[in-house]
Amino acid sequence: MQITSRFTIAVHILCCIEIFEKDYIITSSFLAGSIGANPVIIRTVMGKLKDSGIIDISQGKSGISLARPLDKISFYDIYEALEPVGDEGLFHFHENPNIECPVGRNIHHAMDGKLKAIQSSMENEMRSVMVSDIVNDIKKQMEFEN
């Protein structure tokens, strides 16, 4: 199980918008240069962020902008936009345990609640981290470098 790189690409996109929007027109090519990824991948991620109401995209002079403040965008919001888990949950359970075996017959019952609790814990932690936290850390590092 692994959250794809689209998640970190999305956070990178949002940080670039916040840090550079006053000085540059933010485009997928501009972002691809910072992220080091193909503009097609950047546009795919941006489309999901737009569909989720996290960014606005306009052609021409304004480019890409934030649809809401970064202190209102959590890691969970990005996770939901890019990696929707659905009703099945984060953990995909093997489908055909042998009901003739006492372990196979009882494994779901023994694990389901624990797996849901792990997923809930991870999601709650993601809700507590805002993209603004990341931008603030980047800005502090930029000041340190100067």
Length of the chain: 146
What is the structure's pLDDT at 95? Answer: 83
Distance of alpha carbon 92 from its chain centroid, rounded?
Answer: 20
List, for residues 108-145, the tens digit of each pLDDT value. 999 999 999 999 999 999 999 999 999 999 999 999 88
Stated pTM of the model:
0.88
What is the structure's pLDDT at 4? Answer: 84
The topology under which CATH files domain 5-145 is Arc Repressor Mutant, subunit A (1.10.10)
What is the structure's pLDDT at 2? Answer: 64
Domain boundaries, the chain: 5-145
Q: Which ranges of the chain have pLDDT less than 50?
A: none
What is the structure's pLDDT at 144? Answer: 86
CA 142, 140, 14, 86 torsion-angle sign: positive
Among residues 54, 130, 45, 27, which one has the least CA distance to residue 83?
Answer: 45
What is the structure's pLDDT at 1? Answer: 55
